[in-house]
Structure 1
């Protein structure tokens, strides 16, 4: 709820201390919520308005309307149409089911598992320190309040938001909470394969609960009633939403990084494990104190993990899937200060990572990465002032709508063509092997007959050789015992030991 609590409080002449006491929170939390009213939970907002004596209908009518979410369209519609045709062709045709071959050939049906991977949309991952406004940013991109937001820290599970059209028919509700074992492969390693979500048996085994968006408040945030331990074990929340953004990507909100050695460190483990699935990375850092030392360390690692679509498409912009967002860019920061904040932070980051992560990416992409390239990847965000987030929205929309689909489709075309070429060569090699076998089959039969007739003689020779080896082992064992005994008797002789002591040691005692 984007309500001006501060204005109402000042009009009523009520202190922040009184509000804090009435809500059962600290004065610092009241100050934070007055600065970022959109982060106030619904239940707290209603109680807050009651304390201020303000009618909720009045407050709602004066609420600042949220920005519309990103609408990148459906950039993969043509790709999915082509994949559907290929799948249909495989389903409607049988490939040599009646032919028994001595060696198993890979047939077009084997392509279906690979094709299913091609249906997966790119993942836009939001990460950063806790209380950096990631969930609020995610809600703004979606154009609706889906994810819980609150005062430090909020998110406690990995939250994967997908378009409602991809929800399985048997999925009961909009939200599902799953345990960590859901993502483990046959070797026990975490593998964030979204095809697992289509496996009904796997989901029913590892889903803790299905339900409405209320589950996110229960399992997904730290402020839920600590006395209720029923939310333990939740690792990931799967959320299905009807939002235009999700036509072009999945949105993944990670738990925030913490510098504290407490229970929040478990969230960091989850965040680290899931960053590897990012196709596009949005790193949130508050505009005040933008990009500190801890951010530098995290960004160094994240930049190394980020995919390189530049290698698939020559006109893909350098670092085009990398966004560093200065969140909480509120009106207390003058307009002319924001560019300075971004420029200073980008210069520090470039200097810090130039010889490590940036150089690593130069080698991967075979591109020069300049200070200006890094500077272009810094953006501001404050939803109440569209001019402070419009560039971020425009750039991300362009990326999801036009820029990113090119390398994705290019990679898929290249891999499918490679499969065609490989299979053609594979079949040609197999045919050649069969022809050679048929041509020499009589020769191979004669060799087999000869070997079968010679088998008794071969067995006799093998028994004789085994006997000789056993005899030699026993003789060597006997010689070894005898030589060691002679050596030992010489070394433990009294005269030899006395002579050794006199020669080697000054202190003969």
Structure 2
């Protein structure tokens, strides 16, 4: 069976193989159900009459539902399945054990995981071999004329970038304290690695990685890192050294990574924990703090920041009080920040396959039917709110063309209790499947990113060829051309400099405009009329409204703020891009773009082997803590810059934003303002404490008035205004620094151009350089064509 599957995987995509395996299991389960009903001697009609689970004399099943269940059992919700099993006399434990046994027989040995891992390694190895082959053809050190282009650094940077793509997807666990996050991760690992207790335990983000991924020079089981460290920096020695707070054994987690109320280390932000669990060969696991109401420090900031690290998300909530008061705010934020991959990148993944909702603490005294009803009720109560606050944001930002359906949402809910074999195996199985899908998708994106880097390098070589061809011209002719171009640059640069300064100065007006807009939106949202209308549209009863409205309104205001800043940031970024493109065009360069074998642009960005305005500007942002709108700008254009931005300070900026080490280009909004927006979490808690009793006529209006007063009492407007101020102040500072770097590198480039024009080149040696570069470029072209 495994040999057949491996053979099929050569012809089929990885997701087609996964689907094939799942379909095989489902068909076997369907056959088991039909056989079990036959053994019970019951017809489908008789099963309908026996499907009353709760003594109400109202059957849960219809004959159509039974027919569907006996054909496609995995498409039927758990309550109907439980009713069917109860009717034919099969226990749920037996049913889940049968599923596990069928699954193991089909997928035993993690066949898909091994195929994916081997393919990732093969793709990276082939790319690195291509680089070495091209580098050996050029023999950089043997050609003095090529040293000016610093191709050694280009090859090294492209190689490092390709190696950096070999990162594992991160699946993060989120939820309030005592929801069982650390317990679930310990269960997956098979050891009690993370501290657990009934009071809030985790005070840092815990990232669990395989022991084989431990950086060179680190021999401990735990590293405690400062704020700013990203998973993609794990194999960057300088970053590890700069961000390292301490290292040691597992006791270090208790010392620096838990709430002990007295001796919490102020610099401890993320703990890297090394473990030999097999699943960590394919993914990393993330554990986050859960005291998001702020009583014990900055748990809210850490939890939200964690959502921007994870590609897969597991949200835990206790079955008793499932998605209760104070939990939805974090869930809204977590789901909003964890969108599915864009439609063209999804490669067969369902819109919600990247997250799982776990009903924790499903102890033995809770019947499966009770647990299922709790999940059903929670879905009915919260789905519309999730659609507006989380899923709707995905659609607005272009991550999906459709919103999930409620049954899709319900299908992602699983019960969990560590001592229950069925629940435990089902949850761990779902997480492993998510891991496999994420890793498979990452393989596809990795191959695309490798291709982009090799194409960028090829264009870089072609650009150098063009410049060397230009250097064959007579010295006096080159001197005259450079002087003419420099004169044209001086004529046009002054007016363009003024446009840059005008755009930078507009930050003050944009700040004022955003403050006014948010003030208007804030006043509207907290008005009684607006809140009454929203309550009527979302909630069918007073109890649900009282329980959830604080979480909803808090996230509503937070989402409005983030959406406004993103829109404003994209506006100034588009104007900046036009100016930088114009600057690139007027800077003195060589007229070789239309020669055969060279290219005028790479991914829409002008190419010049000796100068790149984008890299110069972005390199100037190095060392800044928060970039404001420039974080959005960098992420928007980075995928089009090929090999040109992978050298020097610009590469460091991309690394700090988590772009170069990741196969995603979604830049953390945290980078824009220097920290996550947690206003919604704090406001939700404040409203929840105040709104508890309603009297009078219209309960909707009464509740709206209380919420409005609660918002006023929280006095959060100064916090909203502070976020807007910080965003635009950071934007202005970043743009000023980037523009100064652009001017400086432009002047250096102009002087270099003049010096080169006065140099007498040897035509024979130029031809030798060109011939070597053409061989290298053709080798890359052949590799890309073969791929």
Residue by residue over 1:257-298, the C-alpha shift from the partner in whole angstroms, topping out at 9 and shown as x without a partner, is 432x42x24122222222211011111111111112433222
Deviation at 1:255, TM superposition (A): 0.8
Listed as ranges, the matches of 1:278-427 within 5 Å are: 278-309=310-341, 311=343, 312-362=345-395, 363-401=398-436, 403-427=437-461
Deviation at 1:246, TM superposition (A): 0.5
Deviation at 1:216, TM superposition (A): 1.8
Alpha-carbon distance in 2 for matches of 1:448, 1:111: 31
Alpha-carbon distance in 2 for matches of 1:91, 1:423: 13
TM-score, normalised on structure 1?
A: 0.65
Q: 1:300 to 1:88 in 2, by over 3 A?
A: same
Match of 2:280 in 1: 246
Deviation at 1:434, TM superposition (A): 4.6
Match of 1:158 in 2: 205
Q: 1:370 to 1:432 in 2, by over 3 A?
A: same
Alpha-carbon distance in 1 for matches of 2:367, 2:470: 81
CA contact (8 A) 1:71 1:244 kept: no
Residue by residue over 1:357-391, the C-alpha shift from the partner in whole angstroms, topping out at 9 and shown as x without a partner, is 21222342223421112112211111211222333
CA contact (8 A) 1:161 1:238 kept: yes
Alpha-carbon distance in 1 for matches of 2:248, 2:466: 58
Listed as ranges, the matches of 1:442-481 within 5 Å are: 443-445=477-479
Gaps of 5+ in 1: 1-66, 184-191, 452-509
Alpha-carbon distance in 2 for matches of 1:91, 1:314: 31
Match of 2:183 in 1: 136
Alpha-carbon distance in 2 for matches of 1:367, 1:299: 20
CA contact (8 A) 2:200 2:291 kept: no
TM-score, normalised on structure 2?
A: 0.43
Match of 1:64 in 2: none
Q: Which has the higher helix share?
A: 2
Match of 1:29 in 2: none
Residue by residue over 1:151-203, the C-alpha shift from the partner in whole angstroms, topping out at 9 and shown as x without a partner, is 111111111111111113422321222333xx3xxxxxxxx433433344554
Match of 2:305 in 1: 273
Q: Does 1:148 align with 2:182?
A: no
Match of 2:121 in 1: 80
Match of 2:248 in 1: 211
CA contact (8 A) 1:178 1:209 kept: yes
Deviates more, 1:356-365 or 1:278-287: 356-365
CA contact (8 A) 2:172 2:310 kept: yes
Residue by residue over 1:324-344, the C-alpha shift from the partner in whole angstroms, topping out at 9 and shown as x without a partner, is 111111122211111111122
Match of 2:748 in 1: none
SS at match of 2:440: helix
CA contact (8 A) 1:139 1:146 kept: yes
SS at match of 1:130: coil
Q: 1:436 to 1:137 in 2, by over 3 A?
A: same
Deviation at 1:129, TM superposition (A): 0.7
Alpha-carbon distance in 1 for matches of 2:418, 2:360: 9
Deviation at 1:445, TM superposition (A): 4.7
Q: 1:439 to 1:233 in 2, by over 3 A?
A: closer
Alpha-carbon distance in 2 for matches of 1:379, 1:450: 71
Alpha-carbon distance in 1 for matches of 2:483, 2:171: 66
Count matched residues. Answer: 369
Alpha-carbon distance in 1 for matches of 2:247, 2:464: 50
Alpha-carbon distance in 2 for matches of 1:450, 1:337: 82
Q: 1:450 to 1:161 in 2, by over 3 A?
A: closer
Deviation at 1:230, TM superposition (A): 7.5
SS at match of 1:221: coil
Q: 1:335 to 1:408 in 2, by over 3 A?
A: same
Alpha-carbon distance in 1 for matches of 2:303, 2:201: 14
